[in-house]
Amino acid sequence: MKKIIKFFAWILFLSSFVLSRPVLAGPPFNAIEGEGGIALNPLAYLANSGSNLFEAKFGDFDFTAGKPQIGSWYIGLEDTNINWASWSIAETFLKRIETSYGYELVRTPAEKIHKHNIGTKIALVDENSFDLPFLPAVSFGTILKTTSDTPRGVHSTGADFYLVTTKLITQLPRPVLLSGGALLTQGRVNGILGFDSHWDIVGFGNIDVLLFDNLAVGYEIKQGPKYGHSRWKDSNYMNVHAGFMATKKLSLIVAYVYTGDEESTHKVGLGDGFVLSAQYAF
C-alpha cells in the first residue's frame, strides 16, 4: 500500500509541471517488446501513423512511410532483485502496416538475459469506419522472439499472435481509451525464460483516462499463460500508470507493476516494482 501511495504522490507532483501545456503527444507508445501499445499490451492503433517521412506514387499506388518512433523502459523489481530494461523502434508503412524491433536486457542475481523481438501489426479495421461512431479499430499482429540462456527442454525462439480492438470514447466528460484482445503465445515470462512447445490463448486489456490535455492515467492487465503438460503457469501481470505528454514529440511514463508473488508455488511471479519510460516520436 505504501508503494501505491508513493506512486500516486509522484503523479500529483509531476502533473504540476504539465497541466498548463497544450495537447501534445500520446499513445500508442512503444510497448516493452517494441510494438505500438502501452507497456505490456499492444493497441490496435499503429505507431506514429499520422506522420509522413516519405511518399512516392507508382501509377495508382501511393507508397508512404511514417516517421519512426522510439521508446525505452526500465523496470525495477525489488522483491526479486531483477532489473529489466528495453529499447525499441517502430515505424508504420502505407498507414496500414507497423513494423517494430525491441531489445530487452534482463539482469537477475544469477545471469544476464538478452531478448530480441521483431513485430508486425496490420490494421484490419479503422476506428469509426462505415460511418459507425462506436466501431473500434481492429488490428492483427505477430511478434517473433528469441532469448538467450534458456533452460534445457525449453526453446530459445518463439512467437506471439494477437488480435486487438481499441476505441477512444469522446462522449464522456473526459476521453477514455478502451482496448482489449486475445493473445496466442508460447512464452514463459513473456519469453524471457524461453518458449514452451505448446501454446495457450490468454486475454489482455487496457483502460486509460485523459484527465488533462497532456496527462493520462490508466490500468492494464495481461493474463498469464498456462501450459498443462509442463505444469508451467505465469502469474497475471498488471500495472497502474501515468503518461505525461511533455512536448509534441516526447512522452514520459511512470508506473507501478505487479507480476505475481515470487514465493508462490503455483504460479511463476517476479514480484512488484516501479517503472519508468521515455518515448519519442520523430
**What pTM, to 2 d.p., does this model score?**
0.89
In total, the chain counts a number of residues equal to 282
Q: Give the list of residues 6+ apart from residue 199 with CB closer than 8 angstroms, or none.
A: 184, 185, 186
pLDDT at 78 over 60: yes
pLDDT at 166 over 80: yes
- Say which DSSP state 130 is in: G
Would you state the pLDDT for residue 230?
A: 74
Least confident of 59-63, 97-101, 258-262: 59-63
Query: What does the pLDDT average to over 124-142?
Result: 94
The values of phi and psi at residue 217, to 5°, are -125, 150
Query: What does the pLDDT average to over 212-223?
Result: 95
Nearest to 154 by CA among 232, 228, 95, 71: 232
Would you state the pLDDT for residue 2?
A: 52
- Is residue 140 within 8 A of residue 122, CB to CB? The reply is yes
Long-range CB pairs of 66-70 (<8 Å, 24+ gap) are: 66/91, 66/92, 66/93, 66/95, 67/91, 67/281, 67/282, 68/282, 69/30, 69/36, 69/279, 69/280, 69/281, 69/282, 70/30, 70/279, 70/280, 70/282
Query: What does the pLDDT average to over 132-137?
Result: 93
Model confidence at 91, pLDDT cuts 50, 70, 90, reads: very high
Would you state the pLDDT for residue 77?
A: 95
pLDDT at 274 over 90: yes
Domains and CATH numbers, the chain: 2-281 (2.40.160.40)
Average pLDDT over the chain reads: 90
- Say which DSSP state 26 is in: -
Would you state the pLDDT for residue 60?
A: 75
Rg (alpha carbons) of the chain, rounded to whole number:
19
How far, in Å, are 102, 113, 249 from residue 116 at the CA level?
Answer: 6, 10, 25
The backbone region for 48, taken as left when phi is positive above 0, alpha when psi lies in -120 to 50, beta otherwise, is left
pLDDT at 19 over 50: no
pLDDT in tens, 25-43: 778 999 999 999 999 999 9
Nearest to 29 by CA among 15, 19, 42, 14: 42
- How far is it between the farthest Cα atoms of the chain? 62
